[in-house]
Amino acid sequence: MADSITSRIEMTLDSTLESVSKVEQEAEHFAERAGFDPDEVPHIAMAVRECAINAVMHGNAYSETKKFHVSFAMEEDLMKIVVSDSGQGVDLESLPDPLAPENILRGSGRGIFLVKAFMDDVHFRKLDPGTEVTLIKRRTAENASH
């Protein structure tokens, strides 16, 4: 089991795809430094990327006046990532099922499905304005790289 690591990074970014890429890279580096298994790191980075894309595209609608926020925290063997936007929020009940036959061939609509598959816990909270998504990934003896 890795030594206990406690660290935190906070980012406030413009609503651009360049910012999404920055967040994805930071997620990858943060997970590596935190000692996650190399096979898990890309999954964590992809989950964060999907949340950042949703914040930029759906939440803030690429608005130049709206920012989105991301925080990474590692405490003991728990990594917590929070992504929030300042848009109109998302209605999770209205999202189409990506596994429904009519949606299988669609090129989009699988982001939240992937996030839930890759992370241990995913929580959504409606803000005023915006949406906050909290991602939790536990580092266990089986998936720790040192």
Dihedral sign of CA atoms 128, 86, 68, 106 in order = positive
Whether 1 has a pLDDT exceeding 70, the answer reads: no
> Exposed, middle or buried by CB within 10 Å (0-12, 13-18, 19+), for 50?
buried
Interior angle at CA 54, CA 53 and CA 60, nearest 5: 100
Q: How many CA atoms lie within 13 A of 51 on its CB side?
A: 31
pLDDT tens readout for residues 80-115 = 999 999 988 666 665 555 555 664 555 555 578 789
Q: How far apart are CA 6 and CA 100, in angstroms?
A: 41
- The pLDDT tens digits for 28-74 are 999 999 999 999 999 999 999 999 999 999 899 999 999 999 999 99
How far is Cα 31 from Cα 79, in angstroms, rounded to an integer?
Answer: 8
> Given this model, what pLDDT does residue 2 score?
44
Closest of 102, 95, 5, 104 to residue 50, by C-alpha: 95
7-138 architecture in CATH?
2-Layer Sandwich (3.30)
What are the domain boundaries of the chain? 7-138
What's the pTM value of the predicted model, to 2 decimals?
0.83
